[in-house]
Amino acid sequence: MTESTASPSAATGSTATSSANSSASSSAESRAASAPLLTAGRIAFLAFLALALVAPLFLYPVFLVKVLCFALFACAFNLLVGYVGLLSFGHAMFFGGASYFCGHMLKVWGWPPELAIPAAALAAGAMGLVVGALAIRRQGIYFAMVTLALAQMFYFFALQAPFTGGEDGIQAIPRTPILGVIETANDTTLYYVVLAIFTAGFLLIYRTIHSPFGQVLKAIRENEPRAISLGYAVDRYKLLAFTLSATLAGLAGATKALAFQLASLTDVAWQMSGEVVLMTLVGGMGTVFGPVVGAAVIVTMQNYLAGFGEWVLVTQGVIFVVVVLLFRRGIVGEAMAFAERRRRRREDADAAAAGEPEPAATH
């Protein structure tokens, strides 16, 4: 007893950990909205962009393209789960669906990518509008079940429909030039195109989170009955968020179809819906950069451990369990909470140094 009261900094440190479990990750986040930390977020983004611009000098561009596609997918998913509190377990249908749409437009209809990619994303958004309208009538686990059920329906549709290529998928999608001049056939050029698409999607998500609309979303996440009692028709907000998320997931899927010249059943299967949950959790749900980090970690593992066969899945499973048990805020969430704790401890120390008597400080 005396031990713990004797050293106030250690005591606050440990209690902060337990109480912060629920509050710190998002409280740090909402503080980021006020002036000083906003610039910290911007610095992080600019640093990321600088790294991304030089990355092809060190890493294989096609690998980076894969990371970016999944990062955008995870960010889109996070918009829903992290900021509205809606866990969709069927996001593969938008991601994979858009890759089919895009593949068909590029290969069969011969559309240029600058038309096919946005069109496929919008088509995924339209799917999101319909699926969302059905799913948001239910809450919690039932919401997840409805999205899963509809995604499975879409999977079997993709398996049977004549234009999806069934088990083979749509193969050899042409990497045609954008606007007739940007040669996507070149891997490095393709990488920069994908980086531009990712950045646009990421900034749109960032803006959405920090918009008047985003404020209402967070209010719904925090306390839905209260948001209703303040006069917000929450279903309409959820539906718009769901549609936006589906559109952006579609943007990621369409980009992937162009980059890898393939649209296949893998991208609409339920495992893909699970993978995006994993990426978001590992990186940090409800943080802006978390899904990017999570996607990078998972894709890297899949790539470099591919030689070990099934062990990739075992490793993924272990990571998932460890994150859920020990690092519930994910990599970015934990890092932010750590920074926040340090900042507070420093403030406390400053307050103590300023001459406030600390009665319990005996050693």
Partner 1 sequence: MGDDVILETRGLTKEFKGFAAVSGVDLKVRRGAIHALIGPNGAGKTTCFNLITKFLEPTRGTILFDGRDITRTKPADVAQMGMVRSFQISATFGHLTLLENVRVALQRKLGTSFHFWRSERSLSALHERAEALLADVGLAEYRDLTANELPYGRKRALEIATTLALDPEMLLLDEPTSGMGREDIGRTAALIRRVAKDRTVLMVEHNLSVVADLSDTITVLARGEILAEGPYETVSTDPRVVEAYMGTGAGTGAGTDAAAHADA
Footprint of partner 1 (CB under 8 A):
22-23, 26-27, 29-31, 33-34, 204, 207-208, 210-216, 218-219, 222-223, 225-234, 236-237, 240, 244
Min dist CB 233 to partner 1, Å, is 4
Min dist CB 251 to partner 1, Å, is 15
Contacts of 352 (CB under 8 A, 6+ apart): 358, 361
Min dist CB 21 to partner 1, Å, is 11
Between residues 127 and 227, which has the closer beta carbon with respect to partner 1? 227
Between residues 86 and 170, which has the closer beta carbon with respect to partner 1? 86
Min dist CB 134 to partner 1, Å, is 19
Residue 100, both tokens: 């089919």
Q: Nearest-5° angle of CA 328, CA 333, CA 338?
A: 105
Q: CA–CA separation, 174 vs 184, rounded Å?
A: 9
Do 107 and 164 touch, CB atoms closer than 8 A? no
Between residues 212 and 357, which has the closer beta carbon with respect to partner 1? 212
Report the amino acid identity of residue 209.
I
**327 conformational bin, left if phi > 0, alpha if psi -120 to 50, beta if neither:** beta
Helix axes 290-304, 311-326, angle to 10 degrees: 150
Between residues 12 and 261, which has the closer beta carbon with respect to partner 1? 12
Min dist CB 243 to partner 1, Å, is 10
Min dist CB 220 to partner 1, Å, is 9
Between residues 102 and 205, which has the closer beta carbon with respect to partner 1? 205
Q: What is the largest CA-CA distance in the chain?
A: 78
Q: CA–CA separation, 82 vs 217, rounded Å?
A: 10
Between residues 91 and 218, which has the closer beta carbon with respect to partner 1? 218
Exposed, middle or buried: residue 268 (CB in 10 Å: 0-12, 13-18, 19+)? buried
